[in-house]
């Protein structure tokens, strides 16, 4: 097998460098507008329903649930069977709440996923089948029908007071089990003939950049900043060109404003900061004192206790040992005006661990040297 020539390796290296510069140039040009928010009116819709799951192997609701017996009687009566309350004594049925999310644009016959959750005292929904359940919106109108076999990601078995459970078997998923019955067409054009773009992260700087970018593409005065989280766009074309108009807008490249926020996860020791987070000149003296107290208990047992001196008992003696460790990773560092990234790199070179770095960032914020919002998770 022939080895690549030096010229070939040089060409491959140059191509890799050019690709890196091209990717950095693309990032410098900004991100598509559709990655920064959404158009007002284009949103998902929540659906909810109340139904019955049958076919459970004795893991359904108990007889104590009056709601279950009443719901089963209603279903059987609609199917032409009349039963009394004393005739229903089965644990193969459970009452559930069914939820689903209706997309912004849906047509009759489309399939969507549904989530089923028990509201009684059923132990498991494994092996169950959801009966036809209407899913209604906030206006109490039915938009979908859910029915089908459930998919449960767990189990719950019990025998002779022995019980084994995995995950949460009282919740299940119905993949593609809900059928859309009413058409939903989201409207993003307002009555005055304008569109509103809502920012996911409110920022006046980002909103102004969005308006300027849209004006550069569509013409001056087409976009206006209404608030830190809203930009209005004039729609001066025929209604049939709405799709092309929105497609042109949502692909406009915008460079968002940097986030002045530091996110700290104390459980994992993770620190994430925006690129524009700055730190004023500061001097950091870092060190700790660790105090350890160790107690050891000893029992003093007399050898003549076997019947000659009944009034003598054992004696517990406690020895306490105190240790003070001043720490071996003390550091005194001076930082000029810098960023959080440079600070963290400097602390890492001084062998300051992540937990102490988090404490230093919190202390800098309290001292007024860290110009950003700290979010502790």
* Domain definitions of the chain by residue range: 45-185, 188-254, 261-288+328-376
What pLDDT shows up at residue 143?
93
What pLDDT shows up at residue 303?
56
What pLDDT shows up at residue 339?
73
What pLDDT shows up at residue 147?
92
CB within 8 Å of 251: residues ≥ 6 apart: 32, 33, 34
What pLDDT shows up at residue 331?
57
State pTM to two decimals: 0.62
- Report residues of the chain scoring pLDDT below 70: 1-29, 85, 87, 154-167, 259, 266, 269, 274-276, 282-295, 297-337, 350
Kindly report the CA angle at 111 between 106 and 114, in degrees rounded to 5?
105
CB within 8 Å of 274: residues ≥ 6 apart: 258, 259, 260, 261, 262, 372
Residue 99: count of CB within 10 angstroms of its CB = 17
What pLDDT shows up at residue 97?
92
What pLDDT shows up at residue 245?
87
HSE toward the beta carbon, residue 375, CA cutoff 13 A = 9
What pLDDT shows up at residue 276?
66
């Amino acid at each position: 097998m022939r080895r690549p020539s030096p010229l070939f390796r040089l060409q491959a290296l140059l191509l890799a460098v050019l690709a890196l510069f091209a990717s950095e140039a693309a990032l410098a040009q900004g991100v598509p507008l559709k990655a920064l928010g959404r158009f007002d009116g284009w949103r998902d819709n929540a659906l909810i329903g109340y139904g019955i799951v049958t076919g459970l192997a004795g893991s359904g609701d108990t007889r104590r649930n009056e709601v279950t017996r009443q719901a089963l009687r209603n279903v059987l009566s609609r199917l032409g069977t009349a039963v009394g309350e004393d005739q229903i004594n089965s644990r193969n049925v459970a009452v559930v709440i069914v939820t689903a999310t209706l997309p912004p644009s849906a047509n009759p016959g489309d399939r969507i996923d549904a989530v089923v959750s028990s509201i009684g005292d059923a132990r498991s929904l494994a092996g169950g089948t959801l009966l036809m359940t209407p899913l209604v919106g906030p206006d109490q109108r039915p938009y979908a029908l859910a029915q089908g076999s459930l998919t449960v990601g767990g189990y719950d078995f019990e025998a002779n007071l022995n019980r084994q459970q995995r995950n949460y078997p009282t919740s299940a998923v119905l993949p593609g089990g809900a059928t859309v019955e009413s058409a939903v067409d989201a409207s993003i054009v307002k009555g005055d003939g304008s569109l509103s773009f809502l920012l996911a992260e409110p920022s006046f700087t980002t909103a102004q950049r969005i308006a300027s970018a849209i004006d550069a593409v569509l013409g001056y005065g087409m976009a206006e900043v209404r608030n830190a989280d809203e930009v209005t766009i004039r729609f001066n074309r025929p209604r049939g060109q709405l799709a092309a108009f929105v497609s042109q807008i949502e692909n406009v490249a915008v460079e968002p404003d940097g986030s002045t926020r530091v996110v700290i996860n104390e459980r994992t020791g993770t620190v994430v900061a925006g690129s524009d987070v700055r730190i004023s000149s500061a001097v950091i003296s870092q060190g700790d004192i660790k105090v350890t107290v160790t107690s050891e208990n000893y029992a003093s047992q007399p050898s003549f206790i076997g019947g000659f001196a009944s009034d003598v008992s054992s004696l517990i003696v406690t020895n306490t040992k105190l240790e003070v460790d001043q720490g071996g990773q003390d550091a005194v560092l001076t930082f000029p005006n810098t960023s959080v990234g440079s600070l963290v790199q400097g602390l890492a070179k001084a062998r300051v661990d992540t937990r102490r770095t988090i404490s230093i960032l919190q202390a800098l914020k309290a001292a007024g040297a860290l110009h950003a919002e700290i979010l502790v998770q």
